[in-house]
Amino acid sequence: MPAAFFARPAVQVARDLVGCVLRVDGVGGPIVETEAYDRTDPASHSFAGPTRRNASMFGPAGHAYVYRSYGLHWCLNLVCEPGSAVLLRALEPRYDPATMAARRGLDDPRRLCAGPGRLCQALGVTDAQDGVPLDRAPFHLAFGAPDGTVVACGRIGLTRAVETPWRFLVAGSRFVSRPVRPRPRQGD
DNA sequence: CTACCGATCGCCT
DNA sequence: GGCGATCGGTAGC
């Protein structure tokens, strides 16, 4: 995965990452769900400029940005253009599912990596990986074709920019965190 | 299947 | 002091 792949707008990278295979120390699988965030985006951590927490978002493209969510969980982003990143929300638990099951305390493959916090727990990602490059150990990223059609919809869990269609997922995948959210029609 | 709640803490106003 | 790029449990349809 060349560095130039990440040095692009996060929305493009987010779409292209669906189908690519992520492994951390060998544990992982094909990415099935992503979200894009950038500096112009009111829902992005980078919207108000650099802080201690989001420093990695303003660092080099192709590195990790890991943050703590709700004081409990870790979430993994892949840094793109300065101040932008792609949040990894779900993947298919294809490689070393036994390790993921042990870390998660369950073995239902549909629940192992379905959500940004679950994904990090299954792959062993913590703030120890914040700011580290993605092109060397423990990370391994490889191109791959998505197992179905990639569709875009609004992002999950936000209160701002709810309708911005920057969530990308494999339509019909059993491994996504939530199904496609339809855009509300006029009159709803 | 969806809906609500509590946990828990870094970051912001 | 308030609010999240969340999750697991419980309740209800």
CA–C1' gap, A117 and C10, in angstroms: 21
pLDDT in tens, chain A (188 residues): 898 999 999 999 999 999 999 999 999 999 999 999 999 999 999 999 999 999 999 999 999 999 999 999 999 999 999 999 999 999 999 999 999 999 999 989 999 999 999 999 999 999 999 999 999 999 999 999 999 999 999 999 998 999 999 999 999 999 999 999 776 555 44
Residue with tokens 């892949």: A78
* pLDDT recorded at residue A58: 95
- The CATH homologous superfamily of the domain defined by A3-170: Methylpurine-DNA glycosylase (MPG) (3.10.300.10)
Quick one: CA dihedral A149, A43, A10, A55, positive or negative?
negative
Q: Which residues touch strand C (CB under 7 A)?
A: A 35, 37, 43-46, 54, 57, 65, 67, 69-73, 75, 77, 85, 87, 104, 111, 115-119, 121, 155-160, 177
In this complex, the answer to whether residue A182 has its CB under 7 A from any atom of chain B, a nucleic strand, is no
* Each residue's pLDDT tens digit, A142-152: 999 999 999 99
* pLDDT recorded at residue A182: 74
Rg (CA), chain A: 15
Concatenated DSSP letters of A41-70 = -TTSTTTT---STTGGGGS-TTBEEEEEET
How many Å apart are CA A61 and CA A8, to the nearest integer?
9
* pLDDT recorded at residue A181: 79
Domain ranges of chain A: 3-170
